[in-house]
Amino acid sequence: MTDAPRPDEPRDQAPPVEERRPDEPQTYAAAGYPAPPAPVGQQPPEQQTPWWSRPAGETWETPAYAAAPPADTERTVWSTPEDFQDTLGSGPRRRRSRAGLLVVAAVVLALLAGGTGGAVGYLLAGRNDGSVTIDGASLGAAPARNVQRPDGSIAGVAAKVLPSVVQIKVETSNGAATGSGFVIDENGFLVTNNHVVAGAQGRVQVVFSDGKNSTAQVVGTSPGYDLAVLKVNATNLAALPLGNSDSVVVGDPVIAIGSPLGLSGTVTSGIISAKNRPVTAGERGSSDNAYINALQTDAAINPGNSGGPLVDLDGAVIGVNSAIATVGSSVLGSEGGNIGVGFAIPINQARRTVEQLINKGEAQFPIIGASLDGSYQGPGAKIATQATNGTPPLVRGGPADKAGMQPGDVITKIDGTAVQDSSELIVAIRSHRPGETVSLTVERNGDERQVRVTLAATKG
């Protein structure tokens, strides 16, 4: 079979082709080609030439010619008044058009592309550097990536903090539960929320980021601040530095790390959405409610994040993730999903409580020595007018009693900041230390007065 000449080959040696009209006979020998078979019906069946043995010149329009025919030569085009016999004598076919060839070429290319893609995918599956090796040559090898990230980036902070964050597993009366915690001392002290371990029945299990497990001892808990300290038998742990939550401003970027929904080592990021947000976490009416003057963040926090650290871009802990707001629930900290409203205990408050738990096994929080009326619907916090559960409205000799306050007084401000209800007043008081003095604005029978109260302490 004679190969058709390529477009880049010289054609000046090819025999000249005589121009003619379609109805004129052509001397094929003059064109340098053997004569084609006779038209169908004029050639005996035994002499019909199958398509695969036809001369190369009988390829009416080759892709090479159609793409770029040589400028100095002519192209031989077979043309007869009648149609040639189709493949294997299956019927007549008309002269192929350029469009038809292009469609065929496009289909072939598409099939080739699919086959090539599968082959490349197969080769890539066996390599981990993104390269393909053909005949010993590596093609498209991906350059080695530098996995190091700047210290101030989220990835850099996460890499530094993750080894110090743990998953906490407990067995409760309702089944297994998980929470989070973090290392604050190289000798095995960990911080978490009180509500993570309060219902534990039996051992508290701690899982480190490298997969190692350890049984933890509960050193102490503070339901009033929703904090707990655990101790594991380990040394040379990577402790996280504690930051300064008082210096945080709204808009500061923050990162939350923990085990939401049991997914350990989860990193989310956001900003500080608000400060000094009064939060009451726990079941309404429970004696174990926590009153937190919280940092609010839009970093994703879900059940299981409780007790994990909220850190700044230096990797310093500025809060302990503790509660979330849920749609359709007035109780913060109840089960629900992230809606971008999460709360953390400021680390300056947590530091004081953790020190007390480690040094004394118990914590204290400040009080004014007065019972508040939970049914009061007006602005401010009202001192009860009668005993509640056997407790008088004012503790005799307590801070409020010494300051001259009376049952029925309504406290509208603390240190010049308005309070809307009793929960806000308790949160504001617990943001102070026992022994500190605060200024209260009190209304009595339509009159307003200022009183100064030195805070007492109680366990919790």
**Sole residue written with tokens 């309070």:** 419
- Read off the amino acid at residue 215: T
- Residue 458 has a CB neighbour count (10 Å cut-off) of 11
Q: How far apart are CA 173 and CA 234, in angstroms?
A: 29
Q: What is the mean pLDDT of the chain?
A: 77
d(CA 228, CA 392): 31
Q: Are 5 and 11 in contact (CB under 8 A)?
A: yes
What the block records as the tokens of 242 is 């504690």
Q: Give the number of other Cβ atoms within 10 Å of residue 76's Cβ.
A: 20
pLDDT of residue 202: 78
SS3 272: strand
Return the structure tokens found at 409. 């007084």
Token representation of residue 450 = 């200022």
Rounded CA gap, 407 and 397, in Å?
Answer: 14
DSSP category for residue 83: P
194 C-beta neighbours (distance < 10 Å), count = 26
Overall residue count recorded for the chain in this entry: 460
Quick one: which of 32, 313, 305, 20 has its CA closest to 156? 313
What are the beta bridge partners of residue 257?
267
Q: Compute the distance between CA of residue 54 and CA of residue 10 in angstroms, rounded to an integer.
A: 24
Q: Please give the Cα distance from 196 to 178 (Å, whole number).
A: 7
The H or E element that residue 355 is part of is helix 347-360
Q: Are 272 and 248 in contact (CB under 8 A)?
A: yes
Give the catalytic positions in this structure: 195, 226, 306
Phi and psi at 120, nearest 5°, equal: -65, -40
Of 303, 195, 182, the closest CA to residue 232 belongs to: 182
Per-residue pLDDT tens digits for 321-365: 999 988 765 445 445 678 999 999 999 999 999 999 999 999 999
- Other C-beta atoms closer than 10 Å to the C-beta of 314 total 12
pLDDT 10s digits, 372-402: 998 899 999 999 998 888 889 999 999 999 9
**Percent helix, strand, coil in the chain (nearest 5)?**
20, 30, 50
What is the value of pTM for the model shown?
A: 0.67
Instruction: Please give the structure tokens belonging to residue 306.
Output: 């409780």
**Alpha carbons 359 and 337: distance in angstroms, whole number:** 36
- For the chain, 460 residues long, give each residue's pLDDT as a single digit of tens: 445 445 444 444 445 545 554 444 454 444 455 555 555 545 555 555 554 454 544 444 433 333 444 444 444 344 333 333 333 334 444 444 444 444 444 443 333 334 434 443 443 344 455 555 566 655 555 666 667 888 789 999 999 999 999 999 998 888 888 999 999 999 999 999 999 998 888 789 999 999 999 999 999 999 999 999 999 999 999 999 999 999 999 999 999 999 999 999 999 999 999 999 998 876 554 556 888 999 999 999 999 999 999 999 999 999 999 999 887 654 454 456 789 999 999 999 999 999 999 999 999 999 999 999 988 999 999 999 988 888 899 999 999 999 999 999 999 999 999 999 998 999 999 989 999 999 999 999 989 999 999 999 998 7
Burial class (CB in 10 A: 0-12, 13-18, 19+), 247: exposed
**pLDDT over 90 for what percent of the chain?**
53
**Among candidates 167, 189, 188, 191, which has minimal Cα distance to 179?**
167
What is the rounded distance in angstroms from the CA atom of residue 283 to the CA atom of residue 333? 9
Long-range contacts of 83-87 (CB under 8 A, 24+ apart): 83/39, 83/40, 84/36, 84/37, 84/39, 84/40, 85/37, 85/40, 85/48, 86/51, 87/50, 87/51
pLDDT score recorded for residue 116 = 39
